[in-house]
Amino acid sequence: MNIQRTLAIVKPDLFCRGDGAKQAIITKMRDHGLSVVATRRVERWHIEEARRFYGEHKGRFYFPRLIHHMTSAPFEVYVLQGEDAIAKWRRLMGPTHLEKAKLNPDSCRGMFSRSDTKNAVHGSDSPQNADFEIGIFFPDITPNPAPEENN
């Protein structure tokens, strides 16, 4: 088994819709074998923290819009754990772009996206990014289990 941990964010656009929308995402996570290891509500994210987190997107046309969105309102962050958690969560999230997300109506983004930026959720895209992202929000949590924990 390949047990992994990954970071999931319920972005401000979805978080501000209330508990029903957020609960639908959490239910989807759990129904697909992902356990929530940790949760953190972020009331206000400092702009420099957001820039560091999304640093790989710096220089892209959407970067300022993304930073503005993520620092505009509260959101919630989760550490998820499960078999192939990174790939599984990314499949559940669905495509980033709104038009493609609409073609996957059962995905999180298919259900809740409003635009390419306000696309409801975020998820780590690799084990290295999962470790980095988990470390930002949960510095006391071991990002990914040691290999011997995977047996």
For 9, other C-beta atoms within 10 Å of its C-beta total 22
Taking the domains of the chain in order of start, what are their residue ranges? 3-145
The catalytic position among 68, 69, 97, 122 is 122
Q: Is 97 a catalytic residue?
A: no
Is residue 99 scored above 60 in pLDDT? yes
* Mean pLDDT of the chain, nearest integer: 94
Question: For the residues 103-121, what does the mean pLDDT come to?
Answer: 97
Helical residues (DSSP H) of 16-83, grouped into ranges: 19-31, 47-53, 63-70
CATH class as words, domain 3-145: alpha beta
pLDDT classification of 18: cutoffs 50, 70, 90: confident
Q: Give pLDDT, residue 19.
A: 86
pLDDT over 90 (residue 104): yes
Confidence of residue 82 (pLDDT cuts 50, 70, 90): very high
**What is the reported pTM?**
0.92
Q: Answer whether residue 148 shows pLDDT above 70.
A: no
Q: Is the pLDDT of residue 150 over 60?
A: no
Higher pLDDT, 125 or 19: 125
